[in-house]
Structure formats: C-alpha cells, structure tokens
Structure 1
Amino acid sequence: MHRALFIQELLVHICEFLHIDRDDLWSTISEKRVAKATLASLARTSRIFHDPAIRSLWSVQTDLTPLILCLGDSVVLGDEDTSWFSGEAKLAYRQPPSAAQLSRFIKYAQYIESIQLEYPPAIDIKILDELLSLSWPPSVSTHQRLVFFPNLKAIKWDCYYVPFDYLSLLLGPRMRNLVLVMRVEDVAMECTLDAFKYHAPSLDKFSRHDTFKQSSLVVVTCLGLNSFQTLTYINLAQTYHSSSVMWIMLSRLPYLEELKCRIPLKDYGGQRPLLPKTQFPSLNSLTLYCDGEQSNSFESFLTVFMPVERRPYGLRHLKLFNRSTPFAEVDQPPYIQQMVDLCDPTVLTSFSFQGEQAYHPGLSDITLARLTPLLTLRSLRIVELLPMGTIDLDNSAVAEMASSGQCMAQSRETDFAVGKSFLGGYTEDNAGRTHSPCSALPSSLVDVHCR
C-alpha cells in the first residue's frame, strides 16, 4: 500500500508531467516551447504552483543565456552576429556582480538538471570561467563557487567552437549522462576525457555521435572511458572506428550492462582475441552495427569478440544491424552458431536481426534449419527478424515462419516476431494462415507479432 502524497509532492509531479522533455536530450524545439509555455502559465496561476513550476522550467536548458542574465546589469550583451563563429563571447562583464546577483545565479543554477548545448552555441560558456576569478561574498561556500551545477544530471555537448576543456565547468557530482556530438576530430577532447572523472564521479551513461566517418581517436576515447568505473551504458553506434584494443578497454569496465557499437570497414583478421580475464563481467545487452563492404566483416570480428575457451557472456539481449552482407550469407551456420556461442543458453532471452532491403528479395530464405541454432538457447523468448524497406511476403514464407514460431513456442513459449512495417505482403489473409498452425497454443505466446 502506497503512502499518501503531500500537496507539495503532488504539485511537483504535476509540473514534471507537464515538462515532457525533462529527461529527453533529443526533444524537438516545438515540444520544448509548448512545455515551457504551459509551465510559465502555471507559475502565474498561484503562489503554490509558482516554485515547482519554476523549478521545472529551469530543469532543462538549451543555452546558458538566461542563467548568465541573472547577473543583471553587471553583464552586457555583445554583438550576436559576430560572436557565434568568431569564438568571441557574446556576453562581457561591465562590472563585478553584486552579492545579490551572485546569489540569484547560484539559486537558479541549482535547478538545472539537463543542459543541451547545440551547434552553434547560443552563448560562449567561457564567460563561466571568468566567474571563478571574481570576488564572491562570504555567504557563498567554496563548493558553490567551484561547482555551478550541483544537481546537473545530463549534458548534450554539440559546441564545436567552444574549447572542450570548458565542459568541466558544467560537470557536477550528480552527473549521470553525457552525450558528445563530434563534428571534427578533436584531439583535446579525446585526451581530456579521462580528467573529467574528478568532476563527474557518478557518470554511468556515455554516448558519442560522429558526423564524419574518418575517426582515428576512438581508442583514446575508450581509454578515457576506462577511467569511469561507474559506467553502465555506452553508445558508440555512430562512431566509425574501432579495434581489438578498444574492446579490451571496454571489457574491463566492471559495471557495463549495455553496449552499442559499430563494426567498421577494416578487417579484424589476425587480431588478438579477448583474454578470459577481460570479459565483460556485467554486460547483458549488446547491439552491433555493421556497415562493412567485406562479406567476412562479421566473421572476422567474431574471432576477436569470441571469448577464449568459449566462456559465454551473460547476454540477455543481442541485436544485429547488418547493412553489408546478403541475408543468405549471414543467416547460415556457422554464423548464427557463432553468435549463439557468445551467449549463455540459460540467460539470453531476445535475439534481433535487422538487414538492408537490397540484400533481401524475400523472406523465403528464412528457414527453420537456419534458425535451428537459436533453438538450443533454452531461455530464448523473443526472436525478431526486421528487414529494412518494404518486401513481399509470399505464402510459403508465411507458412515457414509460422512453423518456426510454433516449434519455438512449443519448446519454450518463444515470441517469434516479424516487423509489420517492412512486410508489404503481410495481409490479414496471410496473418490468418500464419496463426492457424499455432491455434492449439496460447496466442499471446506464438503470434507472429507486427512490430
């Protein structure tokens, strides 16, 4: 039985519900405007709504201008047209801020939980660095002067004209999620990352998105990430360079639970495989993306990722996004068998494969024989086959998948899924034929779901 909530707690929940982009680093501009307008109106409704609404309004910021303007007439706005691309600050100090202005700055900075600085930045955050050298009133503690955002939990950094070193000005003890957007190869960014562990000791989620494909410093990134022993989630899916050294570094993170990464064009043949002592101790979700042109890119990668002595990983969820190799090649043993060997047959619960339309003229090639290795996974509950694009699903393919789904369901109540949006021939008539072989079993367990 849940306890009754106090009025103040109810007000906070109402404001958090209205602020739909509170925990979303990628919310659209229109969504943010609607949320802010709603909360601003709510703040003016009554005094009891004012404080929780203001806190929600400040919780997510897309630039730091409102916060800097809390310093009042001590700050002057510069030339906006020339500051974005020249690297010069938009704001400058006219005079030292007063104690009241600094207190107001600290008050609202404590409300901020997420900062999304996107290119081009609305303000050059270098002005925050100048705050450190100002004379602060005695009422402000040393910790408040050094940590401007004590409650900050998430940052999306897409400011390529601002030196990467200044990111440390935003980090705080509660920092949990860091998203970096790389538009150019920044050596300073790569080499400074490991120093941030002192500014964000609680960081547990890291994502890096490259807008260019030629990156040679990903290994340095992973070396820096190795300093954050608290990481549980890493997303390198939009990073286009990796090596066995990178995998060894990441495998040493003791609490890493979810990893998304890309298999690049390079060939892994001859690389040194992971040692048994460097296996991912806590990894339970792995998503692999392959854009390589070589048909053996997956196979050669597996020789690196395959643990020595075939000690399986404790993976619960395995997803493969393949845009390089024809379906008929990758879906035959020993390919599926190699992926199965990565997993503990008593642990893996879901397997997903997504391929490019150009290599998939139809799903008739998906036969029960090719899925046989998956049947050895006793704990498997969900199998997803998601071709990209619209393709025709003929009657024979429908019947074959129905048989596969029936066989899996009879053995372990497996949920066999095919993406509806990708199947041009998946009609109600086909759906009836698909479900009919499984009519003796509970429909919730064996339906060919339309995801």
Structure 2
Amino acid sequence: MAHCLFISEIQLSVFYWIFVLDTSHEKHTAQATLAALARTCNAFHDIALDVLWQQFGTIARAIQCMPHDLWGGDMNKSQSGCICLKLHRHLTKDDWNIFRRYALRIRHLSLATQDVRRGKTLMVDIDDELLACLASMDPTQPLLPNLTSLEWIIYDERDLRLIRRIMTKSLTSLILEVWAISPVPDLQQFISSVAPTCPSLRKLVVHSVALSSHLRYSVSQTLCHLHHLTTIHCGVLDGEVMDHLSRLPSLLELKFALQPNSGFQNELLFEQLQVLDVHAQDITSAVDFVSRMRNKLINLSIFSDDHTGASALAQLFRRLSTSVSHCSLRHLQIMVAERPHDSPSVLNLDDLHPLLSFNRLTHVHLDVGCGISLDDVAALELAQAWPNIIQLMLNKFLETPFPSSISPIGLMCFLKHCPNLMELTLEIDFSFVEEQDDQWHYWVGDATHRYLSVFDVTYSKIHDAAKVAAFLSCVLPRTAQVLYSWIHALDDQREYAERWNEASRLFRRMKK
C-alpha cells in the first residue's frame, strides 16, 4: 500500500469523498464501503469508523452494538409504527464500555420520536428507561462527549435530567421543542444554563406551544450571553436582546416574533444577516423594525395577524425599498391576516412599485389580506422588473371583490419576459379567450413557456372550460397541473369549482 495512505489526513479526505460521491438518498453504498474499510484494514480502521459514525452514527445504533440479550425491539403501538428499543436486563460495566467506544464517535443526536412527528421515516425508537440507565452509568462524563448537534423534545422533568447529561461544550447546534402541557419547574433554570454549558453554540432553536413570560425572559438572557450564533429560531424577543443580536458579526439567520411596542433605541445593523423571518402582531411594528435595518438580506419573510389596509402595506413596501439591499434580496414573503369583507381594501401597481426595485428577486409570495388589482400593463412592469423570477404567488388564499384585470395577453407577455418561471399563482380574466372562436391561435402562435410546471389561477372566473383548457394547453406545454381555489362545498363557489375541475381534466387530456 502506498505510504501516503497511512497519513490520517489523507485517509480522512478520501473516506469523506466516499460519502459525498454517493448521491443516493439513504447512502447505503457509502455506509457499506466505510464499514468494509474499517473491518478489512487495521490502518484504515479508526478513520473509517470516524467518518461512518460522524455521518450515520445514532444513539440507537450504538445501543444495538451492545450484547443482544441487553436490549430488544418491540413494535411500538404508536402511529409511528417503529421498533422501540427496550431494556431486557441490568446494564453492566462491560456493556457500558462497549457503548462508550461507539458513543465517542457520535456527532448528531435526534430522538426517533421527534423525527417521526416531523414526518421523517425512522424505524427505531428508544425507551426512556433505557436512556435513563445509560445516562446514570457515569455521572462525571457526558453521555455523548463529542456531540455537536442535538434535537430534543421536553415533556416533563425527566427529559430535563436526560438532556443535561447529553449537552456538552462541543455542542454547536441545539434544537429544543417544549411540548410540556403542565409547567416544568426547572425549565427556566435549564434554559438559563444553556449559554455556560454550550459556549460554542452557533445554532439555537426553541419552539414551544406556549412560552411563558418567564421562559421568554430566560431565552432572551441566554441569547445575550452567546457570542458565536449564526442561526436563531425562537419566540418573542425584547428590544435589549435585539440590540445585542444586531451587533453579532456571525449572525446569518433570524426567525422570531416581534414583541408589541418594542423600544428600539438604536439602529439595528444586522450587517451579515441573510435570512430574516419576523412575526409581528401589527404591521406598524414590522414597519418600525424594518426601517431601523441596514442589511444585505437574501431571504425576508414577514407575517402579521393584523387586519391591515392597503395604505399600511404600501408604507411597509416603501420602508423595505430603503432598508434592504436591492442587489441581495432573492426571496420575499409577506403574509397578512384577511380584512373583514365589510371594509374592502386594494393594492394597485403604484403601491407595489417600491418592490420593483428588487430586480434580482427569484421568489415572491404575497398573501396580503386585501385585493391586488393588476392589469396587463402592470403584468408587463412586474415581468420586466423581476426577469429572474422562479416562483410568483399573489393572494393564493383570498377571494376579493376586486378581481384582477390581467388578460391572457398580459399572461403571455409576463411569461415571455420571465423565462425561468416554474410556479405561478395569479388571477386571470379569461373572458378574452372565451369570447373568441378559435382566433386566439393566430395571436398565440408559438409563444409557449418551457419551464412553468405549476399554474394556480386562484379565484379566476370561468365560463367555457373547453376554450380555456385549449388555450392553456397550447401556451403551457410543460405545466403538470392547473390549480384553483374555488371550493366545491360552498354554494356560491360550486359553479366555478366544477368548471375549473372540467378545465383541468381537459387540460391533462390535451397534453397526452
């Protein structure tokens, strides 16, 4: 064997590429190759196991490396349908030494119960008693000493005792989900201990069904004592912690809920921030927050429960155009609660004009709670301003008394200027096509779009399903499906829902 292959750095690089080059989802080939290298050559044993366990090692697999009479698998009766590892006898020192040998190599821990609830397919769950026995074997050492990433659900006090044994100073990513129904006495103290226990933490995610004011304060104080954070997902944050976070040079991603009437004393820099996701109870707070920022955001999402009008939204758009770099923003999402039907409001092109300055946008999703009134001229301006657009969604879930005036001609013009478009949600007035016989063939010509795969017409009205289906099948040969928002179960919407259902069926047939 070549002498260079005895050098650990070269082995590590080569073995890592075994993992990278396996493009399959489960990466079975990479796992089998690394396991074979570890078994067949003493020179490769340690490095191959390091790579194998860093990429694929789990606490369940470490348990399964212990003697088979120690643990057993029972079919879990929960909806997950996975195998539950349970303790069949007392844990001995020899068992612990076997577990420890593999536990040293584990870098990531995510309990199976959590992953199943997130929709991931896992076959193994771990009984709490088995985890507790492992955690009690050597109280002077962390259960997984070299762990860097941890995901955990907190139901009660027992979960806190376990997670304290697992958290280490090497941890860089911590995801906590508090699912406790009743109060957990030491939860606030535990949250406060995160910073001194994990000083190198770079990613912190804290989700809770109901964060108490005391727990929110603990989260804020913990964030103030972490200085290397790159990613934060949490609940409500106050003004003090926002000032601290805005000065962090490492922070790249921030998702949080904006406290009402937050008192921001200074400009919020966020110089390196790339992803911002803010949930504000009212648009005024969101406007105030955004107006204090000077950044180079790539992805911006704003959610609000406020039943606001077009004027407040127009003000938000103007503030965005002066606070966020026009060259950097790629993804923009704004979701606002729907206004009552007795107080209709509508946005027009002039209101949207500040957003047109972001000429590198690729994804735009606006569900703004009020109507968006556009015509063919507006469609052309949007297309010319956003030539790189890949996904455009306008009021997917809102039926308004101000229907769009974009005609099929405006739709074709938009598609012509946006060649990369893959998903479009837009209300169209198809009456121009329905009123003609087959004359639309002459002005359509060969103007087809090559990439659009999903077209959602939302609450577009339709009268002649056959003509609309023929037009769309000609213009959108690559589109897999045409969606609509009309609901069959509602009497006042059933007519349009049935017609669009027929148009969708004809559209699919014409494409075969």
Same fold (TM over 0.5): yes
* Match for residue 385 of structure 1 among 364, 375, 378: 364
CA deviation string 1:315-336 (max 9, x = no partner): 323513435345735431x222
Displacement, 1:367?
0.8
Displacement, 1:400?
0.7
- Residue pair 1:350, 1:381 contacting (<8 A) in 2 also: yes
User: Which residue pairs with 1:152 in the alignment?
Assistant: 147
The reply to whether residue 116 of structure 1 matches residue 110 of structure 2 is yes
Cα distance, 1:431–1:13 mapped onto 2, change above 3 Å: farther
User: Which residue pairs with 1:171 in the alignment?
Assistant: 167
* Match for residue 274 of structure 1 among 243, 246, 265: 265
Cα distance, 1:348–1:9 mapped onto 2, change above 3 Å: closer
Amino acid at match of 2:132: K
Cα distance, 1:146–1:214 mapped onto 2, change above 3 Å: closer
User: Which residue pairs with 1:402 in the alignment?
Assistant: 380
Aligned residues: 380
Cα distance, 1:427–1:261 mapped onto 2, change above 3 Å: farther
Displacement, 1:357?
9.2
Amino acid at match of 1:131: M
Cα distance, 1:313–1:165 mapped onto 2, change above 3 Å: farther
User: Which residue pairs with 1:244 in the alignment?
Assistant: 239
- Residue pair 1:263, 1:288 contacting (<8 A) in 2 also: no
Amino acid at match of 1:105: F
- Residue pair 1:261, 1:288 contacting (<8 A) in 2 also: yes
Q: Percent identity between the aligned chains?
A: 15
The reply to whether residue 322 of structure 1 matches residue 303 of structure 2 is yes
**How far, CA to CA, are the matches of 1:190 and 1:11 in structure 2?**
43
**How far, CA to CA, are the matches of 1:207 and 1:118 in structure 2?**
18
User: Which residue pairs with 1:367 in the alignment?
Assistant: 349
**How far, CA to CA, are the matches of 2:71 and 2:391 in structure 1?**
59
Amino acid at match of 2:335: G
CA deviation string 1:363-388 (max 9, x = no partner): 9944145323663x7xx522643145
Displacement, 1:341?
4.1
User: Which residue pairs with 1:290 in the alignment?
Assistant: 279
* Match for residue 432 of structure 1 among 384, 395, 412: 412
- Gaps in structure 2 of 5+ consecutive residues: 78-84, 115-124, 398-403, 424-512
Cα distance, 1:315–1:92 mapped onto 2, change above 3 Å: farther
CA deviation string 1:79-98 (max 9, x = no partner): 9999xxxxxx9549736413
User: Which residue pairs with 2:229 in the alignment?
Assistant: 231
**How far, CA to CA, are the matches of 2:28 and 2:75 in structure 1?**
24
Cα distance, 1:156–1:16 mapped onto 2, change above 3 Å: farther
- Residue pair 1:387, 1:422 contacting (<8 A) in 2 also: yes
The reply to whether residue 331 of structure 1 matches residue 313 of structure 2 is yes
Cα distance, 1:392–1:373 mapped onto 2, change above 3 Å: closer
* Match for residue 419 of structure 1 among 379, 392, 416: 392
User: Which residue pairs with 1:39 in the alignment?
Assistant: 31
Cα distance, 1:62–1:105 mapped onto 2, change above 3 Å: closer
- Residue pair 1:282, 1:314 contacting (<8 A) in 2 also: yes
CA deviation string 1:78-133 (max 9, x = no partner): 99999xxxxxx9549736413xx555333311321211025477233333432225
- Residue pair 2:250, 2:272 contacting (<8 A) in 1 also: yes
- Residue pair 2:379, 2:411 contacting (<8 A) in 1 also: no
Amino acid at match of 1:303: D
* Match for residue 101 of structure 2 among 87, 99, 107: 107
Displacement, 1:272?
2.0
> SS where residue 365 of structure 2 aligns?
strand
Cα distance, 1:189–1:429 mapped onto 2, change above 3 Å: farther
**How far, CA to CA, are the matches of 1:427 and 1:117 in structure 2?**
52
User: Which residue pairs with 1:132 in the alignment?
Assistant: 138
- Residue pair 1:254, 1:280 contacting (<8 A) in 2 also: no
Amino acid at match of 1:339: L
Displacement, 1:149?
3.1
Displacement, 1:447?
4.8
User: Which residue pairs with 1:450 in the alignment?
Assistant: 422
Cα distance, 1:222–1:249 mapped onto 2, change above 3 Å: farther
**How far, CA to CA, are the matches of 2:171 and 2:420 in structure 1?**
42
Displacement, 1:245?
4.3
- Gaps in structure 1 of 5+ consecutive residues: 21-30, 83-88, 134-144, 439-445
Instruction: Give the superposed CA RMSD.
Output: 4.9
Cα distance, 1:338–1:8 mapped onto 2, change above 3 Å: closer
**How far, CA to CA, are the matches of 1:183 and 1:36 in structure 2?**
34
User: Which residue pairs with 1:355 in the alignment?
Assistant: 335
